[in-house]
A and B are shown apart, each in its own frame.
Chain A
Amino acid sequence: MDKLINQFEFGLFFWQVVIFVGLVLLLKKFAWKPILDAVNDREEGIKNALLSAENARQEMQNLQADNQRILNEARAERDAMLKEAREMKEQMIAESKSEAQAQGQKMIEQAKAAIESEKNAAMAELKSQVSTLSLSIAEKLLKEELSNKEAQTKLVEKLLGDVKLN
């Protein structure tokens, strides 16, 4: 221990403290402060650059997502429109079909009714025609028959005979 204490040298201590403290102060002014500031600035710069790159990436992603969304929306809209159109078309076809059918049915009905009425009219005319014709024929026949006696009797007999049979 004595040897250790004896090693202590005041002059050397003085120089060492003077040189070292001077060194700390000088280096602080001319080296450490500029170095640490520069390194800090650089680190900040790198951090900012990375951050802005990240932001740009995020923005890009957002944009892409937006685009995708818009595209999807447009696609969905188109699909919806197509579907609607298809449905409309089908509906129209169905509608017109049923309408046509109804129209046709109606026309058929009308035609049928017209035919029936025509037929009835024709039948009625035919009937009247036939009746007048047969009356005239009967008239003519009667005129002819009743012109001679014999024939009249014969007819009467015949008619009587028919009655008997009944």
Chain B
Amino acid sequence: MVISNKPLRFIIATLVACLPLMSFANSEVDSTKAVTEVAHEATTEGHHEGAHTEPTDEKSKIKAFIKHHVLDSHDFTFTQDDVTGKHYGFPLPVILWDNGLHIFSSSKFEHGKAVAESNGNYYVINHHDGKIYRTDVSGKITEDEKTGFPTNVRPIDFSITKTVISILAAALLMIWLFSSLAKSYTKNGGIASGAGRIFEPVVLYIRDEIAIPNIGVKHYKKYMSYLLTIFFFVLFLNIFGLTPLGINATGNLTITFSLAILTFLITNLTANKNYWSHIFWMPGVPKAMRIVLAPIELLGVFIKPFSLMIRLYANIFAGHIVLMSIISLMFIFKSWIGSSLSFGLSFVLSILEILVAFLQAYIFTMLSALYFGSAVEEHHHDEAHH
């Protein structure tokens, strides 16, 4: 690597230190929004073109739009025209398991406005959570009074949603990119060529700076495939999320949950005796302490992947919400000063989000490597670790 260690670590440390500032920025935005909300409600009275169920004033419309964006969706909509109600995008296949397989196109829902019929069952998309519920011909959804969640039956939804399409796209991109990189080595005499060669230093960085220091030279090889895949997967999906395509895959709890659970499984399935003895019978501490420590350590086993899941999800999710809020401030302010200010702010924030995209991919990989390292750590008592 050309980049030396120290400045890079310093930059990363600075970035981590700056992260809390983002949440401050978030709350500030919220307060401005609250102010504009008051002003707005006073001034705007019903310029609305949407359907009756849709929110009427611009602020809540934006809110609904942001909420809709961060959730998964059954069709791929790039943009929509509120006046004509036309959506620009394409429908995706819906696959439901509800006492039998139901496969139909999501265009049947007409963007949540219609009830879809398939093999005698009726389904509708609830516009609060964007999920499919079984219903009757009228498309009625009954809501639980306490929690506000629908009480309708939910079929198991194997639909190829927007998120599935985006992870599939990321996967195909990675396969193309890295297999062409791999082929270029044999063709070009051991030197990378083509589009993939930009990523060769990153691959080397993951090997030399993440895998080897955290796992150790002896064991790192068997984890390399997973670490490299997860790094580029998270990175590409983070970057996808910053494009105007409106994808939010790594800001989806299910995705981060599945990534975290894979790290959890790999950690615990490849762990050696030393790892388990450190959890249940900590060496080097008094016996009474061992009994106290065991549940704490056991809890740690589950907290570690949980923190992985929440960290990635919350960072990307919050980033999307903040960025979209600031962008939409432009339309709320509708003044030269306010709009250009929020444009500048969103520009700066986008750059920060690019950094966050790299940083979160790095942190996820780094921590996974750290957990793998602890799982295969060799037995050595003399050193005062823990």
Which residues of A approach B to under 8 Å, CB–CB? 2, 4, 6-17, 19-24, 26-28, 30-36, 38-39, 41-42, 45
Contacts and interface: CB of A to CB of B under 8 A. Distances in A.
A7 B317 CA distance: 12
A24 B157 contact: no
Q: How large is the interface on B (under 10, 10 to 19, 20 to 34, 35 or more residues)?
A: 35 or more
A38 B160 contact: no
Given A27-B228, A34-B185, A39-B200, A19 B168 contact: yes
Contacts of B168: 19
B303 to A, nearest CB: 15
Given A38-B186, A39-B200, A45-B190, A23 B233 contact: yes
Contact of A9 (B226, B254, B259): B254
B254 A8 contact: yes
Interface string B158-194: 1111011001100100110011011101100011000
B91 to A, nearest CB: 17
A11 to B, nearest CB: 4
A33 B183 CA distance: 11
Contact of B185 (A11, A14, A26, A38): A38
A27 B178 contact: yes
Nearest to A34: B182
A10 B229 contact: no
A27 B191 CA distance: 19
Interface of B: 71-72, 95, 129, 131, 147, 149, 156-161, 163-164, 167-168, 171, 174-175, 178-179, 181-183, 185-186, 190-191, 200, 203-204, 207, 224-226, 228-229, 233, 252-255, 257-259, 262
B159 A20 contact: no
Given A31-B181, A32-B225, 12 more contacts: A4-B253, A6-B149, A7-B254, A11-B158, A12-B72, A14-B158, A15-B160, A23-B174, A24-B226, A24-B229, A34-B182, A35-B185
Nearest to B97: A11
B167 A35 contact: no
B282 to A, nearest CB: 31
24 contacts: A4-B253, A7-B129, A7-B252, A8-B254, A9-B72, A9-B254, A10-B157, A11-B157, A19-B167, A19-B168, A19-B171, A20-B229, A20-B233, A20-B259, A20-B262, A21-B262, A23-B171, A23-B174, A27-B228, A34-B182, A35-B185, A35-B200, A35-B203, A39-B207
A41 B190 contact: yes
A30 B175 contact: yes
B255 A42 contact: no
A6 B129 contact: yes
Contacts of B258: 13, 16-17, 20
Pairs A-B, 7 closest by C-beta atoms = A31-B178, A38-B185, A34-B182, A28-B225, A11-B157, A11-B158, A30-B179
Contacts of A10: 156-157
B191 A32 contact: no
Given A23-B171, A23-B229, A27-B228, A16 B181 contact: no
